[in-house]
Amino acid sequence: MNPPLLELVLEIRAQVNAPVEIGRVGRGRRRIVPIVGGTCQGHERFRDLLTGRVLPGGADWQIIHDDGLTEADARYTLETDRGDLVYVQNRGLRHAPPDIMKKLLEGESVDPSLVYFYSTPTFETAAPALQPLTRSIFVGAGERYPSDVVIRFWKVG
């Protein structure tokens, strides 16, 4: 059996506001990071289909463990330049050495290469041309900056 191939499909640059701190809950510290806008850019054969914007109103619901491990569950909507809507649910993990996580969680800039930040998104859409999004497995790799998050998604095939 051959190992799976990865095809870069999409890059999202989501603008975020400051986290809303809920506080300590059963599994760790709960916080919600509002997603207030951004852009999406399809790559290669998806360029014309997936280029557009991230609609305001989404959020990333996070649980932060005592050691800094962050469980992310982001949900947001994309609107393509063609007017198609895509709902994204993106679950992932983010961690780094304690000093790096401390800076990251305080909203400071850190070198993205020092942070493990990967996810498994799912997509929902009614657009016929975008149905391949709903019928494939994807993996995401993220970078967190003080006011935005960049995530690239690869189709597994």
Give the model confidence (pLDDT) of 7-46 as tens digits.
999 999 999 999 999 999 999 999 999 999 999 999 998 8
Categorize the per-residue pLDDT at 107 as very low, low, confident or very high, splitting at 50, 70 and 90. confident
- CA-nearest of 86, 85, 80, 148 to 122 is 86
Per the confidence metrics, is the pTM higher than 0.75?
yes
What total number of domains does the chain contain?
Answer: 1
Looking at the domain assignment, is residue 50 inside a domain?
yes
Residue recorded with tokens 């690869």: 154
Maximum distance among all Cα pairs of the chain, rounded to whole angstroms: 47
Full residue range of the structural domain in which residue 17 is found: 6-156
Looking at the domain assignment, is residue 141 inside a domain?
yes
Which amino acid, 61? W
Taking residues 106-121, report their average pLDDT.
94
Report H helices in 6-81: 47-50
Helices (H) and strands (E) in the chain, counts: 2, 10
Looking at the domain assignment, is residue 1 inside a domain?
no
**CATH code of the domain containing 14:** 2.40.160.20
Strands 116-124 and 6-16: unpaired
Give strand pairing partners of 76.
88
Judge whether 69 and 27 are in contact, CB under 8 Å: no
Taking residues 42-67, report their average pLDDT.
95
